[in-house]
Structure 1
């Protein structure tokens, strides 16, 4: 063997462990980055769920008390609390029917888009 071939083989032996070490470090870094990305997404989704749930509960309570207020007010105006609550019930039935007929075209598409944007929203 010539001296040049011997030096090349020695250099390959030196490079190979270094290359192997770099490859192991790259893989470890990539795994850690993936783990941290998953953790970040989970924390964002969890925080959004908690805050959105709180807002939803407060909205439902507000809606409930506003409904009772409207029903009692209409009951006083018409002289019958049963009539006041009946009018409010008919109002909600009307709204439910309208929602039933427009949900496929308008509401579901908007909600799907909204949820996908919320889940995959990246911090800026």
Structure 2
């Protein structure tokens, strides 16, 4: 009987260690995904910023004044912000949440 109790304790200890390691692995994967996704977002934002500046200068040259092109570019972004804000609940938040859940549980699906 004592041997059975000892084996059960070993089994529980092993299960606890496995749970801890699994939790650490998920945390590290999530952190790595956040870092790499963050870097991608930073590079996209920088590229978008420079394209916006170039487009603002181009439109300013076409309009013949130094502020007109930048005003049009900022007006475009304001309209985009209003559209995104109006549609965020239906079209943006749910896919983002679903994608994050898939990333978190991707490792479990592979096993």
Quote the Cα distance in structure 2 between the aligned partners of 1:47 and 1:105: 28
Spell out the pairing of 1:58-97 with structure 2 (5 A cutoff): 58-97=43-82
Q: 4+ residue stretches of structure 1 with deviation over 6 A?
A: none
Normalising by structure 1, report the TM-score: 0.82
Equivalent residues of 1:71, 1:81 under 8 A apart: no
Larger radius of gyration between Structure 1 and Structure 2:
1
Cα distance in 2 for residues equivalent to 1:115 and 1:27: 31
TM-superposed CA distance for 1:47, in Å, is 0.4
Any idea what SS the aligned residue of 1:74 has? helix
CA–CA distance in structure 1, aligned partners of residues 82 and 74 of structure 2: 12
Once the 2 structures are TM-superposed, how far is the Cα of residue 111 of structure 1 from its aligned partner? 1.5
Unaligned runs of 5+ residues in structure 1 are 1-15
Partner SS for 1:120: helix
Structure 2 unaligned spans of 5+: none
Q: CA RMSD in A?
A: 1.2
TM-score normalised by L of structure 2: 0.91
